[in-house]
Amino acid sequence: MSEEQTPQQDKYTAAIAASAVIEDDAAVAEAVKKIIDEHAAENRNAEVYKKLFSCIDLTTLKSTDSYSSVARFTEKVNSFSETFPSLPNVAAICVYPNFAGVVRSVLESSDVRIACVSGGFPSSQTFDEVKIVETALAVENGADEIDIVLNLGYFFDKDYEGLSDEISEQKAATRHGRLKVILETGALKTAANIKAASVLAMYSGADFLKTSTGKEYPGASLEAAYVMLQAIKEYYDKTGTRIGFKAAGGIATTDEAVQYYTLVKEILGEDWLTNEYFRIGASRLANSLLSDIVGYEAKHF
Active-site residues, by number, are: 147, 210, 246
Distance CA 221, CA 211 (A): 8
3-state secondary structure of 1: coil
Distance CA 83, CA 288 (A): 16
Contact by Cβ (8 Å): 211, 225: yes
DSSP 178-230: EEEEE--HHHH-SHHHHHHHHHHHHHTT-SEEE---SSSS----HHHHHHHHH
Amino acid identity, position 59: T
- What CA–CA distances, in Å, run from 58 to 41, 115, 118, 125, 213? 26, 9, 16, 25, 14
CB within 8 A of 13, min separation 6: which ones? 160
177 phi and psi angles, rounded to 5 deg = -80, 180
Contact by Cβ (8 Å): 251, 260: yes
CA angle 274-279-281, nearest 5°?
155
Distance CA 174, CA 206 (A): 11
Q: Report how far Cα 19 is from the mean position of its chain's Cα atoms.
A: 22
